[in-house]
């Protein structure tokens, strides 16, 4: 469903050289994984015999016994709906190869030999095995021809899955086979491994797999030998990993034989390869083996979907990310101030989250440049909708940060403007609202001229995605420090700042964090904010979720809805999510003209809206395809 495919990495407990016992454990793991909905399972290197057989690999009894066990697995797999990749030693033209056999529904569909045979430190594989690189041979098993070679790519019919195979040391060399296989179209690479444990090796192994997965824009399933291998000189921990484009989806507990599962998002990988044009497909010399796969009726989606994809879920990582983003914002402004020779900044401060963050970033930039904070002209401009709470927070914050405070009440000027255009002040329509926003921007721009300063934009990325900004009002500035920051992340940045500053400022910031998001353009009711943004355009948590998957991966609306239902289960029902998804697409297409002329501002994450960078979109594009898709869901 939606290009997801469940895979498994399994470490059965084996007995060294007991091929009958081992084959039964492998079959048990295959049956269990199939019952759990997996479509592919990967076993460790030489899992039929055990990796640590040493010179027993020179014995005909073991080699012949392993081949018979392979045939037993083949035959008994006929009623198990799962593709299995099993490690086995096989003789081909008088040479012994360390192989991975691909088995499905009673057939051996291909055999891949190990390319790189280690013979250093604790490894003595060249004593027994031959490299499979450039070997051209006919492999006949049980009177049937089987594809054999390091150039095999397995294509699972009925899905978008293509996978390649490498074995243990193959990954550790400078140019792993998985690189070539990925360039030939493999979205998944599997590794049958027997990587022994020593101090710190698990960290190196994990990083190696993550890096190879990221470099090849692929998923990677790593199955490691574990308990049951001989401990004469080495110990194996069964360190299994499933990684997708550099992100660990699942990792086993070491020193505990087990099977791990993960749902690979093939559509996500395809999207990344489409986007990154330096990933160039080269399938020269690759032989594709088709697998006629039957969809597993036991499949169920079991992948964690983060409802806040822009915000790291790990607390330590979130703190680190916030510090990094604040630096990106501040140093972006530092460069612009240095280039223009500007020693003054003008910031409109409302007491809301966005303008608070913009002011904090400006203060940081001025501190970096050793420019006095009093050169920051922080202006509060109360109007018809301003409440005492936001006004007080704005004034107190400005003074606590030691910026220069300026107050200009816009009410009379806006009334004069209404008289000029003959607008009834009692009609609270879009003219009523936007006139206030433009009046504020008009004042900030004139103050910047007066003090030879630069107007710092406060609008965030979520607002620009929805077009929730007044054209040539708060939409405009001389440098938009928040333009790459989504609303859900703005909150965390301000919260992080509160956690790392003195108590006086922290208390103000926490009250700002507790204040409802509002443009405050309509009169308050009983002194309380009457105009709440999320009641009008929808929850920013949903819109940021939509924004991430629309722009980062180009997913279709039905897939985004499916993921959102999982991520926001218990918070929003399907009809609510669908309604706001429709609002998102409608506004996203209709408001591109605002993004087409948005001011400069720093990109801080993987998604950005700049017309000069990440989003080259025509202002008159039609969203009918996307909206019709939602209507027909």
| Residue 363 predicted with pLDDT over 70 | yes
Site of tokens 């012994």: 96
Rounded Cα distance between 254 and 237, Å, is 5
**Distance from CA of residue 219 to its chain's centroid?**
13
Contacts for 210 with CB less than 8 Å, ≥ 6 apart: 243, 246, 247, 248
How open is the CA angle 400-404-406, to the nearest 5 degrees? 110
pLDDT at 516: 83
Rounded Cα distance between 99 and 89, Å, is 6
pLDDT at 120: 93
Rounded Cα distance between 208 and 190, Å, is 14
Q: Which of 135, 131, 67 is nearest to 101 (CA)?
A: 67
Task: Give mean pLDDT, residues 29-41.
Answer: 98
Task: Give mean pLDDT, residues 281-299.
Answer: 94
pLDDT digits (tens, 9 = 90+) for 197-227: 999 999 999 999 999 999 999 999 999 999 9
User: Which backbone phi and psi does 479 adopt, to 5 degrees?
Assistant: -165, 120
Task: Give mean pLDDT, residues 36-40.
Answer: 98
Task: Give mean pLDDT, residues 298-326.
Answer: 94
pLDDT at 73: 98
Contact 494, 361 (CB under 8 A): no
Task: Give mean pLDDT, residues 427-454.
Answer: 95
| Residue 288 predicted with pLDDT over 70 | yes
pLDDT at 512: 95
* In 230-286, beta strands by DSSP E: 241-244, 247-251, 259-265
| SS3 sequence of 10-44 | ECCCCCCCCHHHHHHHHHHHHHHHHHCCCCEEECC
pLDDT at 81: 97
pLDDT at 481: 98
pLDDT digits (tens, 9 = 90+) for 218-259: 999 999 999 999 999 999 999 999 999 999 999 999 999 999
Query: What radius of gyration, in Å, describes the C-alpha atoms of the chain?
Result: 31
Q: Which residues are catalytic?
A: 45, 114, 168
pLDDT at 138: 87
Rounded Cα distance between 538 and 587, Å, is 11
Between residues 520 and 176, which one has the greater pLDDT?
176
pLDDT at 530: 63
Least confident of 1-5, 468-472, 614-618: 1-5
3-state secondary structure of 188: strand
Label residue 164 by pLDDT band (50, 70, 90). very high
Give the N- to C-terminal CA distance of the chain in Å, as an integer: 15
- Pull the structure tokens for residue 575: 């009809």
| Residue 525 predicted with pLDDT over 80 | no
pLDDT at 82: 98
| Residue 520 predicted with pLDDT over 80 | no
Least confident of 211-220, 532-541, 572-581: 532-541
Indicate whether this model's pTM tops 0.85: yes
Task: Give mean pLDDT, residues 399-418.
Answer: 96
How is 392-458 classified by DSSP, letter by letter?
HHHHHHHHHTTPEEEE---HHHHHHHHHHHT--TT--SHHHHHHHHHHHHHHHHHHHHHTT-EEEE-
Label residue 62 by pLDDT band (50, 70, 90). very high
pLDDT at 519: 73
Task: Give mean pLDDT, residues 20-34.
Answer: 98
How is 114-171 classified by DSSP, letter by letter?
-S----STT--GGGT----TT----EEETTEEE-BSTTEEEEEETSS-EEEEEETHHH
Task: Give mean pLDDT, residues 248-275.
Answer: 97
Label residue 477 by pLDDT band (50, 70, 90). very high
Label residue 488 by pLDDT band (50, 70, 90). very high
Site of tokens 């604790």: 122
- The average confidence (pLDDT) of the chain is 95
pLDDT at 542: 98
Task: Give mean pLDDT, residues 153-176.
Answer: 97
Task: Give mean pLDDT, residues 59-85.
Answer: 98
């Amino acid at each position: 469903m939606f290009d997801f495919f469940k895979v498994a990495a399994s470490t059965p407990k084996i007995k060294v050289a007991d091929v009958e016992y081992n084959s039964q454990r492998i079959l048990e793991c295959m049956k269990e994984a199939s019952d759990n909905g997996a479509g592919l399972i990967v076993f460790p290197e030489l899992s039929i015999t055990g990796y640590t057989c040493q010179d027993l690999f020179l014995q005909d009894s073991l080699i012949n016994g392993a081949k018979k066990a392979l045939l037993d697995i083949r035959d008994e797999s006929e009623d198990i709906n799962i593709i299995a990749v099993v490690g086995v030693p096989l003789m081909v033209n008088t040479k012994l190869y360390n192989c991975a056999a691909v088995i499905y529904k009673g057939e051996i569909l291909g055999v891949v030999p190990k390319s790189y045979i280690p013979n250093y430190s604790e490894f003595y594989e060249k004593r027994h095995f031959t490299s499979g690189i450039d070997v051209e041979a006919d492999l006949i098993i049980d009177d049937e021809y089987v594809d054999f070679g390091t150039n095999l790519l397995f294509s699972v019919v009925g899905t978008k899955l293509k996978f390649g195979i490498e074995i243990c040391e193959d990954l550790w060399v400078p140019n792993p086979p998985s690189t070539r296989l990925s360039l030939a179209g493999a979205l998944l690479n599997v590794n049958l491994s027997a990587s022994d444990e020593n101090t710190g090796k698990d960290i190196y192994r994990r990083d190696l797999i993550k890096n190879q997965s990221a470099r090849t824009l692929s998923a990677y399933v790593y199955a490691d030998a574990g308990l049951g291998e001989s401990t004469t000189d080495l110990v194996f921990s069964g360190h299994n990993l499933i990684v997708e484009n550099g992100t660990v989806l699942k990792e086993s507990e070491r020193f505990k034989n087990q099977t791990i599962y993960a749902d690979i998002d093939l559509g996500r990988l395809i999207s990344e390869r489409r986007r990154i044009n330096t990933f160039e497909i080269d399938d020269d010399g690759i032989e594709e083996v088709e697998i006629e796969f039957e969809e597993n009726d036991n499949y169920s989606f079991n992948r964690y979907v983060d409802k806040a994809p822009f915000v790291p879920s790990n607390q330590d990582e979130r703190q680190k990310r916030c510090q990094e983003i604040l630096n990106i914002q501040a140093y972006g402004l530092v460069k612009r101030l240095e280039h223009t020779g500007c020693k003054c900044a003008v910031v409109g401060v409302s007491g809301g989250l966005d303008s608070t963050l913009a002011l904090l970033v400006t203060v940081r930039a001025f501190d970096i440049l050793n420019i006095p904070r009093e050169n920051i002209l922080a202006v509060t401009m109360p109007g018809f909708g301003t409440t005492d709470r936001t006004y007080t927070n704005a004034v107190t914050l400005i003074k606590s940060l030691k910026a220069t405070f300026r107050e200009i009440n816009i009410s009379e000027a806006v009334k004069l403007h209404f008289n000029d255009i003959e607008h009834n002040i009692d009609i609270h329509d879009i003219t009523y609202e936007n006139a206030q926003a433009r009046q504020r921007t008009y004042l900030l721009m004139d103050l910047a001229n007066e003090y030879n300063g630069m107007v710092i934009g406060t609008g965030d990325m979520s607002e620009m995605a929805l077009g929730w900004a007044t054209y040539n009002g708060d939409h405009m500035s001389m440098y938009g420090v928040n333009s790459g920051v989504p609303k859900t992340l703005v909150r965390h940045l301000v919260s992080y700042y509160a956690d790392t500053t003195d108590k006086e400022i922290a208390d103000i910031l926490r009250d700002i964090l507790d204040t409802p998001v509002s443009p405050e353009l309509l009169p308050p009711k009983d002194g309380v904010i009457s105009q709440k943004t999320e009641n009008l355009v929808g929850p920013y948590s949903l819109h940021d979720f939509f924004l991430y998957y629309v722009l980062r991966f180009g997913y279709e609306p039905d897939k985004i809805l499916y993921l959102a239902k999982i991520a926001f289960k218990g918070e929003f029902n399907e009809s609510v999510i669908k309604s706001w998804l429709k609002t998102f697409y409608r506004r996203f297409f209709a408001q591109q003209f605002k993004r087409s002329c948005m001011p400069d501002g720093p990109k801080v994450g993987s998604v950005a809206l700049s017309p000069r960078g990440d989003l080259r979109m025509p202002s008159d594009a039609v969203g009918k395809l996307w909206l019709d898709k939602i209507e027909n869901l």
